[in-house]
Amino acid sequence: MMSTHDKVTDDTTDFGFERVKTGEKAGRVREVFDSVAARYDVMNDLMSGGMHRLWKRFTIELSAVRPGQTVLDIAGGTGDLAAKFSKLVGADGHVVLADINSAMLSVGRDRLIDKGALSNISVVQADAQYLPFEDNSIDCITIAFGLRNVTDKNKALASMHRVLKPGGRLLVLEFSKPVSPLLSKIYDTYSFSALPVMGKIITDDSDSYRYLAESIRKHPDQDTLLNMVEDAGFVDCRYHNMTGGIVAVHRGIKG
Amino acid sequence: MQHDPAVIAGVCLVAEAAIARAIALSPGTAPQLAQLHPVELAIACTNPTIDVFLVINGDGEINVSSYRETEPTVCISGSSSAFLKVASASDPAAALINGNIKITGDTAVLMTLQNVLSDLNIDWEAPMVDLLGPIVGHQLANLIRGLTTASKVAHQSARRQLSEFILEEGRLSPPRAELDDFLGSVDDMVLRVDRAESRLKRLKNRVDLLSGASA
Ligand SMILES: C[S@@+](CC[C@H](N)C(=O)[O-])C[C@H]1O[C@@H](n2cnc3c(N)ncnc32)[C@H](O)[C@@H]1O
């Protein structure tokens, strides 16, 4: 069964709650991250109360990455995951930090230099929908809080499937649907009123954070995304809810 | 009951940071640990089900994680109450052997590891405060201290290493006053959770009111 979610049917797609021309979404998303890049890490901590560190930590555990492997962190932004993977794969392994946005990548590169982690990491500007890597070349791909920004998610999943080695694993960490209605309500109130205000104060940009809140709501829920991952050809697919389903990590293996 | 992976990840993070600090303060420990690489110790707690893995890397650091796909070198498993008994026993090594804890895999490695780690002075508070903020972090740290430090200080002289124990005969350690202390703080915690819950209820009413007004 094909999932209908996120099919780019006519020539428009979602940008938060707006509809924009399919060709325009990438540019609009870029503006958002250009605007927040410098303060991105501070906002991440503030917005999630530090929780994003735990979500990422569990995702890295699920990756089961071993020394010597090749890992791609796509939509890797400022390089949180890449830095951790760099240590796990060791000198014989390799990590690619990739993102469509050069402003995010340059903040990421600076941070990795500060951490002295660049020796086994390459930084590549790339679009998740058209990954510039060879077929069957990567052991593990992670995409953290990135998939919802991609114009055609199915295309991106297919592209990730293509570059993974057989037996390789994909992990998608993304905001999802809280399991309890109460939590869902509190969370909505938080993301639609508090987030833009915090964004305004810290980055002087409430629109970008309104987009973030809206894009979270627009993102497919756990089971829909699970279907999408399966449709892209992955096997052994499953997901783990975290923090009551505010966030979920989906896993798929290339058969 | 299924635990939230993010919570377990938090526990692992705190434990890892606390152990790392202790290792840094104890020169000689890291090289000893590095020699044990690539040992993996699995701690499998049932009821509630929590699996924690201590993985020793080549730099002599201990990674604490909740998910591994590799076969552990040694696994200790038991119920949470069995683990509590060990933690609060005057002679943890003896309790480990005699209690209702099952050890599978390479027992010799476990003994070496216990030898290396038994001298560490682990301070849980700093990383917990880092992670959870001063109020919750401090209380949790107190709780753990009640469990570990008290028994450690009181029985420093009597403490035996697991390896010695295996050579001698085993004896079950009596339940300790520390356990009562600990249970006391658990009651305290339950009270606090109750209070938090009623606060949450009030919050929910307010949210309902708000969303009713805006609809
Ligand atoms: C919310 S950030 C997440 C950054 C990082 N992974 C983290 O978890 O902190 C989303 C990132 O997705 C990137 N992005 C958006 N669309 C993309 C695409 N089509 N291909 C690759 N990256 C994309 C953005 O530039 C941005 O850096």
**B interface mutation test: which of A46, A53, A57 has the most B CBs within 10 A?**
A57
Please tell me which residue, A8 or A161, carries the higher pLDDT value.
A161
CA dihedral (B94, B97, B101, B107) positive or negative:
positive
| Residue bearing the CA closest to ligand 1, atom 27 | A77
* Nearest-CA distance A89 → chain B (Å): 12
Q: Which residue carries 């076969």 as its tokens? A: B71
| Residue bearing the CA closest to ligand 1, atom 14 | A75
CATH number for the domain formed by residue range(s) B5-118: 3.30.1050.10
Average pLDDT over residues A6-22: 79
Q: Which residue carries 């040992």 as its tokens? A: B39
Mean pLDDT score of chain B: 74
Residue A210 tokens, joined = 């309104």
| Residue bearing the CA closest to ligand 1, atom 15 | A149
pLDDT tens per residue across span B1-37: 467 898 888 888 888 988 998 999 888 899 999 999 9
- For residues A71 and A82, give the distance between their C-alpha atoms in angstroms, rounded to a whole number: 8
Give residue B212's pLDDT band: very low, low, confident or very high (50, 70, 90): low
| Environment class of B170 (CB within 10 Å of its CB; exposed 0-12, middle 13-18, buried 19+) | middle
- For residues B165 and A148, give the distance between their C-alpha atoms in angstroms, rounded to a whole number: 57
- Cβ contact B207–A58 (<8 Å): no
Q: Residue by residue, what is the 3-state secondary structure of chain B?
A: CCCCHHHHHHHHHHHHHHHHHHHHCCCCHHHHHHHHCCCEEEEEEECCCEEEEEEECCCCCEEEECCCCCCCCEEEEEEHHHHHHHHHCCCHHHHHHHCCCEEEECHHHHHHHHHHHCCCCCCCHHHHHHHHCHHHHHHHHHHHHHHCHHHHHHCCCCCCCHHHHHHCCCCCCCCCHHHHHHHHHHHHHHHHHHHHHHHHHHHHHHHHHHHHHHC
Gyration radius of chain B over CA positions: 20
Q: Which of B13, B67, B208 sits opposite A54 (nearest CB)?
A: B13
User: At residue A101, does pLDDT exceed 90?
Assistant: yes
Average pLDDT over residues A125-130: 97
CATH class name, domain A12-180+208-254: alpha beta
Indicate the domain borders of chain B.
5-118, 124-173, 185-215
Q: Which of A111, A145, A175, A249 to mutate to test the pocket of ligand 1 (most atoms within 8 A of CB)?
A: A145
Pairing of strands A247-254, A164-175: antiparallel
Q: What is the DSSP string of chain A?
A: ----TT---SSEEEETTEEEEHHHHHHHHHHHHHHHGGGHHHHHHHHHTTHHHHHHHHHHHHHT--TT-EEEEET-TT-HHHHHHHHHH-TTSEEEEEES-HHHHHHHHHHHHHHT-GGGEEEEE--GGG--S-TT-EEEEEEES-GGGSS-HHHHHHHHHHHEEEEEEEEEEEE---SSHHHHHHHHHIIIIIHHHHHHHHHS-HHHHHHHHHHHHHS--HHHHHHHHHHTTEEEEEEEEEGGGTEEEEEEEE-
Residues of A with CB under 8 A from a CB of B: 50-51, 53-55, 57-58, 61-62, 64, 182, 185-186, 189, 240-244, 247, 249
* Nearest-CA distance A62 → chain B (Å): 6
Of A173, A175, A194, A205, residue with least CA distance to A39: A205
ipTM, 2 decimals? 0.80
Give residue B131's pLDDT band: very low, low, confident or very high (50, 70, 90): low
Q: Which of B5, B12, B69 sits opposite A64 (nearest CB)?
A: B69
CB-based contact A78:A40 (threshold 8 Å):
yes
- For residues A212 and A208, give the distance between their C-alpha atoms in angstroms, rounded to a whole number: 6
Other CB atoms within 10 Å distance of the CB of residue A10:
9
* Cα(A104) to centroid(ligand 1), Å: 8
- In this prediction the pTM is 0.79
A249: closest chain B residue by CA: B5
Indicate the domain borders of chain A.
12-180+208-254
Pocket residues: Cβ below 6 A from ligand 1 = A 29, 33, 44, 74-77, 80, 99-101, 104, 127-129, 144-146, 149-150
Q: Which of A99, A131, A151 to mutate to test the pocket of ligand 1 (most atoms within 8 A of CB)?
A: A99
Gyration radius of chain A over CA positions: 17
Give residue B183's pLDDT band: very low, low, confident or very high (50, 70, 90): very low
Of A151, A159, A143, residue with least CA distance to A234: A159
| Residue bearing the CA closest to ligand 1, atom 22 | A75
All residues of chain A having their beta carbon less than 8 Å from the beta carbon of residue B207 are 182, 185-186, 189
Q: Which of A6-10, A220-224, A227-231, B49-53 has the lowest mean pLDDT?
A: A6-10
* Widest pairwise Cα distance in chain A: 48
* Cα(A145) to centroid(ligand 1), Å: 7
All residues of chain A having their beta carbon less than 8 Å from the beta carbon of residue B210 are 189
A89: closest chain B residue by CA: B57
User: At residue A184, does pLDDT exceed 90?
Assistant: no
User: At residue B147, does pLDDT exceed 80?
Assistant: no
All residues of chain B having their beta carbon less than 8 Å from the beta carbon of residue A53 are 13
pLDDT tens per residue across span B79-127: 888 887 777 777 777 777 777 889 999 989 988 888 888 778 777 777 7
What are the angstrom distances between the C-alpha of A108 and each of A33, A35, B9, B111? 13, 15, 24, 43
Give residue A109's pLDDT band: very low, low, confident or very high (50, 70, 90): very high
